Structure 1
């Protein structure tokens, strides 16, 4: 197998013999490709991280982009964006895991094994069948339409107490997906096999169809950590990727999106708890009075039916001037005197008073690798500054 490994936003030159793979690698959407003056293949990673595998003729190719964040912190952010309690339990298993696919497999296997340890969860599901005797309720319309004047079987609907419920279907589907994935450690693979055996009576999910819904309740509370990880496995990030002419299997995440989702979740919790109001993600608005120029600020804070603050999440600081212009447009359209840019850089806070506009832009830096209590304090400080500028 030919392997290409680099870090997020890193540029690495490989051998001249790899140049023929440039179109296929670019087609994954995970890297940009160029050639050096001496004909070597040069790959440049962006904000997407993860691992993909694909075939190039008779050869197997693996492309791996590693996040700069520790794997356990990345998984914590992914989980926190979906549950503001975070993933304090499952990330503990990742301390010694440094790569993406092993981390996902280890975390899911450990969380699911804990969930199934007391026994496989059972619940009621609605079943519709043709039976020789009446069970539950007769489906009169189906009976008249298909079996009018005939002897049994009868078209019936009834509640069946079974392990074949959405929660178990989601876990089994994720276990099957990971079992088909290269790079899963042997120990985790054995655990995935045991999970599949425990869920042998559960019907299998069909890829490409909607992932079964699992409403949180008292009965499935022990399943929730495993279900969060399972949905990561089954989401669009973790199945098959079709970009350009390249079809690749693996798991990738766009850290711009991860960071934006996470910041929205943690700021929503901090702002509403400390200052009230409502936090809205991607509020639709227009820059012009003819509604031709659409804008969608990452985060807006609303009080008394009016916007009181606007925040934009910036995972990588590429160009400060462009960011300031963007925030000026948001503040102008929303009628705000202050806007906030939150970078994942750990840089100190700065303020820019934009000449002739009356708008002040405040930039904040978040150190995402800091201990979790410190990250929480940083977010709370941003929430307080947002409220102070309202």
Structure 2
């Protein structure tokens, strides 16, 4: 087992050639040669969680408190419905045991009032008529015979999307290592309560569910269940999907999703419209170089035309290389140039960069560098995002920078 901490120094460990090849292929960690043959240096590669890769169990502890990671994940998915007080990570410092504990408690709490039931559309061949006859299927499959009857009807059952997600997440967590005895006991109890629910087919998309008053008590458990199930796979830079026997979370994606979603909510009262991952802009007239800023805010000008008013890009870590965050500045300069803006905004996690304002020589463009402290309590963290939104709205660069420094 290899135990790592996000952003910490590499750990030296003995690995076989096959194990090194598996770790390098998965890209969940970075592997480099050690001081002697057979000894390797292993460090994190932007992921946190736990997984078994090539027979090696890897555990990566996030540098951000686990309960704060839960908040970032949950808020990005449901900014207006995430209830942090219902997510209890217990005393666990590692992501996987903490997530399993929080999910088990939430699922058990959701099922205490009974298993949720709902209507499910069924299509079957029955000896009696129930619901509506599927006439086309009856003629095609039964060749004019009166029985059985091809029918479609609504069945009131526990076999609905919400319960299928809870069953799948519970079963998956039970297969993973490192869970506390009490957590495993609670998960088994949850599975027993979900008798009659169909297991999900591996590899198929997760079933969709709609938030409603009826399933309110399920909301927190369902949010955590989706984190468990989506954390079982991730995509490499080339788009290749990789399945892992564990749960890994990309912290840069968590940070990016939270900043853009929370900033969209904070900008909403100021009017305009925010577009996430805007792919409508190119750097060149030939439209061969696609630009994809994390957030572009649009407003309507005096002529009734929608125009870009602000551009924001989030960066969880300083770019690697001798230029440090130089590559980030060049990227933002390209965004501002293509969008016709005089100011752009880079948002970092505090500790990776400090607030600063860069003035580009000969271009008349300013790039404001902001820093968000992820260790803040949720309410204070959202307050920092609101102040960031206010600084983006204001056109006075000096006041904007002063607001950044006040954090």
TM-score by length of 2: 0.89
Does the aligned pair in 2 maintain the 1:19–1:41 contact within 8 Å? no
Alignment-derived partner of residue 400 in structure 2? none
**C-alpha deviations, 1:298-322, integer Å up to 9, x for none?**
1111111111101110111232222
1:374 corresponding residue in structure 2: 380
Q: Cα–Cα, structure 1 residues 258 and 360, in superposed 2: closer, same or farther, change >3 Å?
A: same
SS in structure 2 opposite 1:309?
strand
Matched, 1:154 2:149: yes
CA drift at 1:80: 0.6
Q: Is the 8 A contact 1:131 1:153 kept in 2?
A: yes
Match of 2:170 among 172, 175, 192: 175
Match among 60, 67, 70 for residue 75 of structure 1: 70
* Equivalent-residue separation in structure 2 for 1:140 and 1:322 (angstroms): 63
Which residue matches 1:50? Answer: 49
Which residue of structure 2 lines up, in the alignment, with residue 345 of structure 1? Answer: 350
Q: Distance in 2 between matches of 1:320 and 1:130?
A: 64
Corresponding position of 2:248: 252
**Residues 53 and 219 of structure 1: CA distance in aligned 2, closer, same or farther (over 3 Å):** same
Distance in 2 (CA, whole Å) between partners of 1:199 and 1:302 is: 47
Q: Is the 8 A contact 2:233 2:244 kept in 1?
A: no
- The range that moved more, 365-374 or 343-352, is 343-352
- Alignment deviations for residues 333-383 of structure 1 (CA, whole Å, 9 cap, x no partner): 000000001110155521111110010010111111012222122111110
Q: What corresponds to 1:24 in structure 2?
A: 22
Say whether 1:238 aligns with 2:232: yes
How far apart in 1 are the matches of 2:235 and 2:282? 33
Distance 1:162 1:16, change over 3 A: closer
Out of 313-322 and 224-233, give the one that drifted further: 313-322
Number of residue equivalences:
380
Alignment partner of 1:11 is 2:9: yes
Alignment partner of 2:84: what SS?
coil
> 5+ unaligned residues in a row in structure 1: which ranges?
none
TM-score by length of 1: 0.92
CA 1:353 to 1:247, structure 2 compared with 1: closer, same or farther past 3 Å?
Answer: closer
Change (3 A) 1:286 1:111: same
1:359 is the counterpart of 2:365: yes
Q: Which of residues 117, 122, 125 is equivalent to 2:120?
A: 125
Instruction: Tell me the SS of whatever aligns to 1:11.
Output: coil
Corresponding residue number in structure 2 for 1:387 = 393
Using the TM superposition, name which of 25-34 and 297-306 deviates more. 25-34
Residues 178 and 381 (structure 1 numbering): CA distance in 2 closer, same or farther, change over 3 Å? same
In the alignment, the residues of structure 2 paired with residue 127 and residue 293 of structure 1 have an alpha-carbon distance, to the nearest angstrom, of 48
Structure 1 position 288 matched with structure 2 position 284: yes
CA RMSD of superposed structures (Å)? 2.0
The answer to whether the 8 A contact 2:232-2:244 is kept is no
**Residue aligned with 2:151, SS:** strand
Q: Name the SS of the counterpart of 1:317 in structure 2.
A: coil
Write the distance in 2 (CA, Å) between the matches of 1:286 and 1:376: 32
Q: More relative contact order in 1 or in 2 (CA 8 Å, sep 6+)?
A: 1
Q: Is the Cα–Cα contact under 8 Å of residues 54 and 247 in structure 1 kept in the other structure?
A: no
8 Å contact from structure 2 (residues 23, 53) kept in 1: no
Deviation at 1:163? 0.8
Do 2:48 and 2:251's aligned partners in 1 also have CA atoms closer than 8 Å?
yes
Q: Which runs of 4+ in 1 moved over 3 A?
A: 15-20, 239-244
Alignment CA distance shift 1:219-1:104 (3 Å): same
Counterpart secondary structure, 2:10: strand
Moved more, 286-295 or 312-321: 312-321
User: Distance between the aligned counterparts of 2:91 and 2:258, measured in 1?
Assistant: 24
In the alignment, which residue of structure 1 is the partner of 2:401?
none
Residue 38 of structure 1 and its aligned partner are, at CA, apart by 2.7
- Residue aligned with 1:161, SS: strand
- Pick from 72, 76, 79: which aligns with 1:84? 79
